[in-house]
Chains A and B, each alone.
Chain A
Amino acid sequence: AQSVAQPEDQVNVAEGNPLTVKCTYSVSGNPYLFWYVQYPNRGLQFLLKYITGDNLVKGSYGFEAEFNKSQTSFHLKKPSALVSDSALYFCAVRVLKFGANNLFFGTGTRLTVIP
């Protein structure tokens, strides 16, 4: 079965420090992987996606993610965290289900950037 796991419910990082939000996946075939961010009381916003090509994917707001096939991981990273990055982050994988492509979301990781 295809799935995605976010092993950390909460990540705290000091402002200006690098941040990493972890994601591992389990899929058959080539994975299509995504990161979304949710600010309080809002919907999700697309950050970036990996389909093929360069393992390092750059996205919105200075975020990037590294696809690692051998470790089946797709960790989200940013070199220098901002307080405004504090939000809930979701990793997702495309699954072929119910006759169409749909996204299967992880349980989310709450990132808190401490001033």
Chain B
Amino acid sequence: DGGITQSPKYLFRKEGQNVTLSCEQNLNHDAMYWYRQDPGQGLRLIYYSQIVNDFQKGDIAEGYSVSREKKESFPLTVTSAQKNPTAFYLCASSPTSTNEKLFFGSGTQLSVL
């Protein structure tokens, strides 16, 4: 069953803690993306990766970090520097970075304890 898998579905973060959100795809897509969704603000791009071992900052990269060591995996770490991390996080992929048809995962809801 092909697609994008995000885990966990719900995640809670304590003050000063780093947490990592998982994103795995078996679509053989080159490009992967992380978006943050807040009510009334649409989706904002955090980081994206056009190819393995490469990634670029998006509009709101501060307080976040990523890695792209494998083509199928693009984990996002929400660091303690991100002061307002509560949001719905969406991972997406596309066949190439020039293909705008994005395939999205089901999302992770991150909340602060």
Contacts and interface: CB of A to CB of B under 8 A. Distances in A.
B83 to A, nearest CB: 22
Contacts of B50: 100
B64 interface: no
B4 A43 contact: yes
Dominant SS at the B interface? strand
Chain A, interface residues (CB within 8 Å), range: 20 to 34
Nearest to B3: A43
Interface stretch (B13-21, B39-47, B70-78): B39-47
Interface of B: 4, 6, 33, 35, 40-43, 45, 48, 50, 56-58, 90-92, 97-98, 100-107, 109
Interface of A: 9, 32, 34, 36, 41-46, 49, 90, 92, 94, 98-103, 105-108
B61 to A, nearest CB: 10
A90 B100 CA distance: 14
Contacts of A49: 100-101
A43 B100 contact: no
24 contacts: A9-B40, A41-B106, A42-B106, A43-B6, A43-B90, A43-B91, A43-B106, A44-B43, A44-B92, A44-B104, A49-B100, A90-B43, A94-B100, A99-B56, A100-B56, A101-B97, A101-B98, A101-B100, A102-B48, A105-B35, A106-B42, A107-B40, A107-B41, A108-B40
A91 B77 CA distance: 28
B107 A42 contact: yes
Contacts of A45: 104
Nearest to A39: B106
B90 A103 contact: no
Contacts of B91: 43
B102 to A, nearest CB: 7
* Candidate in A92, A99, A101 with the most chain B CB atoms within 10 angstroms: A101
B42 to A, nearest CB: 4
A7 B112 CA distance: 31
